[in-house]
Amino acid sequence: MTLNQLSSGDLIADRRADYAKMLAEGGEPDSAAELMAQALERAPDWAAGWFRLADYEEKSGRKEAAIEALRKTLALTPEDIFGAGLKLALLGATAVPEQPPSLYVERLFDDYADRFDQALVEKLGYSVPQKLAALIQSQTGGLIFEHVTDLGCGTGLFGERIRDQAQFLEGFDLSVNMLAKAEAKSTYDRLARADLSLSPDASGIFGNFAPARADLVSAADVLMYLGNLDSVFDIATHLLACNGYFAFSVEDAGDIEDFLLRPSLRYAHGEAYVRSLCASHGLELIAIERTAIRMDAGEPVFGILFLARKPA
């Protein structure tokens, strides 16, 4: 779903919103906010419009007006498909949530699916799949895994990298459109929809398949869309057989002890936090590698790759 394409249902309001968008893109957020406010006078229940107004107000330096518009967005869409709660946290109006709204993440990637591979690999220099696969290979000696479970598989970029080392490869993702892209590649033996913010019992889907079945569980470039990672570690340890490996990546939060929310609306996690999760879930850390994982606005984004093992 492209938020800028959502209609208010009022032709004049939509036209004013289109002009406001043009002004904002031309570097005139003040004028854009004024015109957007006029549009909302005609369509006061237009949640996407309030969200756009918040963006223009923030860029104009009017923080309180942006917060008010975001609160209006959230009141109109309590399920928070726009991620207004995340923006409120960044503006200091609320505490940083431990998880983003699942519906926001789902809609974000449903909209992104058609251009995901090209945008990440060709434009942003995305390198987590190959680097994580290389870390696994270097630490396991090119081991062939009987069963690999790829959490947050997306369009299957990591699946393509690990396919030759997997006798059976399954993938889970929240976005139906991303799963459709992965299915079209014929990389996976099984694909299913699942919410990684839920525990294995609460999510349901993982309970439908045998526990302790995977000798490798992966989460490549997924955990930045979660804050508190307890649910993912619960899922990974539920799925892992004894001596199985858990390979995953996070955005590097530096010296932060747990996690933080970045302006990109992605979370970054500290090494100390990940170490504590591994210890509390009975996982032994095998390898840690810091590396650039993608570009963002012309600057490298740094991450940490981890390989852990579930002892016998």
Q: Chunked in runs of 10, what are the mean pLDDT values of the chain (312 residues)?
A: 64 94 95 96 95 97 98 96 97 95 93 80 83 96 95 95 97 95 96 88 66 94 96 94 97 94 96 97 97 89 97 90
Given 43, 70, 95, which residue is the final one in a domain? 95
pLDDT of residue 161: 96
Domain count, the chain: 2
Q: What is the pLDDT of residue 117?
A: 75
In this structure, the chain runs to a length of: 312
Domain limit, last residue, from 67, 95, 123: 95
pLDDT at site 4: 44
Closest CA to 128 of 311, 307, 305: 305
Measured between alpha carbons, how far apart are the two ends of the chain, in Å? 45
Distance of CA 169 to the CA centre of its chain: 22
Residue 227 maps to which CATH number? 3.40.50.150
What is the extent of the structural domain holding 146? 108-309
Query: Are 76 and 10 within one domain?
Result: yes
**pLDDT tens-digit readout, 93-102:** 999 999 999 9
Residue 189 contacts residue 168 (beta carbons within 8 Å) = yes
User: How far apart, in whole angstroms, are the C-alpha atoms of residue 269 and residue 250?
Assistant: 6
* pLDDT value at residue 8: 86
pTM, full prediction: 0.91
- Are 46 and 194 in the same domain? no
Per-residue pLDDT at 140: 94
Same domain, yes or no: 229 and 199: yes
Which of 36, 62, 95 is the endpoint of a domain?
A: 95
